[in-house]
Amino acid sequence: MRQFSANLGFLWQELSLPDAILAAKAAGFEAVECHWPYETPAAETKAALEETGLPMLGLNTLRGNPGENGLSALPGREAEARAAIDQALDYARQIGAGAVHVMAGFSEGQAAHESFVANLRYAADQAGEITILIEPLNRHDAPGYFLTITDQAVAIIAEVDRANVRLMFDCYHVGRTEGDVITRFEALQNLIGHVQFASVPERGAPDRGELNYAQIFARIEAAGWTRPLGAEYKPGGPTEESLHWMAALRKST
């Protein structure tokens, strides 16, 4: 059976993280993931995960100062970037999360590239069994973000040269920037650590917009993907009222 993960950065934002985990379970999700859980004590998050039996698939490193979107590709900010990596890995270990998304930030150029590679190597070497994820963000939502397309991510993963550094393949970002989501997934599947989705272009529920997720999910599964797919979309109102897509897309072939 096709499985879905609720991204609690967007879904049930009005609830505390533990209550959002309970809501995701009640709604029928098989896993959860989040953005920045650090204001919630790890023990409380862990208790909610244990109560529901849901795994926490991943979380993000801190964005940095107001207006920033990550630290790891910012030259001269290595100490802050590595502190954020340490914080994320520590929280992930306490709650049993499987992955940490290391956010690059707004930057460009060779110095930024070198900082990102060095910080990713640091993260990978500290991570142990935790997967380190990097995610290209589209230029419409995150203009100026360092990591923008999957080819750039592939080259960075190769240069970092650590087995536990993988690609976060967000169908929404790929769809907005590159298109041809199925072909890109099939070309990159050996490097992918997690899959996320939302409608294109508005980033709403996946049963609208330009992408046919029934077809996309079927092709992803035909390629051998068996892990939960991450619902990282903006519900545009109460989350429960946006979940009409789940039954149809769970059954689609």
Number of domains present in the structure of the chain:
1
| Spatial distance between the Cα atoms of 100 and 32, rounded to a whole number of angstroms | 13
pTM of the full structure:
0.97
Active site annotation includes 44: no
The mean pLDDT of the chain is: 97
- pLDDT, one tens digit per residue, over 212-245 is 999 999 999 999 999 999 999 999 999 999 999 9
Q: Which of 30, 135, 202, 210 is catalytic?
A: 135
Q: What is the mean pLDDT of residues 173-192?
A: 97
pLDDT band, very low/low/confident/very high, at 70 (cuts 50, 70, 90): very high
Contact 61, 84 (CB under 8 A): yes
Active site annotation includes 68: no
H-type helices in 30-147, by residue range? 42-52, 78-95, 110-127
Contact 9, 198 (CB under 8 A): no
Q: Which of 114, 159, 210, 232 is catalytic?
A: 232
Q: Which residues contact 243 (CB under 8 A, 6 or more apart)?
A: 27, 28, 205
pLDDT on residue 251: 79
Residue 129's CATH number: 3.20.20.150
pLDDT band, very low/low/confident/very high, at 167 (cuts 50, 70, 90): very high
pLDDT on residue 1: 81
Whether the predicted pLDDT of 252 surpasses 70: no
| Spatial distance between the Cα atoms of 192 and 133, rounded to a whole number of angstroms | 9
Closest CA to 249 of 240, 234, 220: 220
Sign of CA dihedral 177, 181, 183, 185: positive
Whether the predicted pLDDT of 253 surpasses 80: no
- pLDDT, one tens digit per residue, over 22-43 is 999 999 999 999 999 999 999 9
Domain containing 205: what range? 4-251
Q: Which residue has the tokens 């790929």?
A: 174
- pLDDT, one tens digit per residue, over 75-117 is 999 999 999 999 999 999 999 999 999 999 999 999 999 999 9
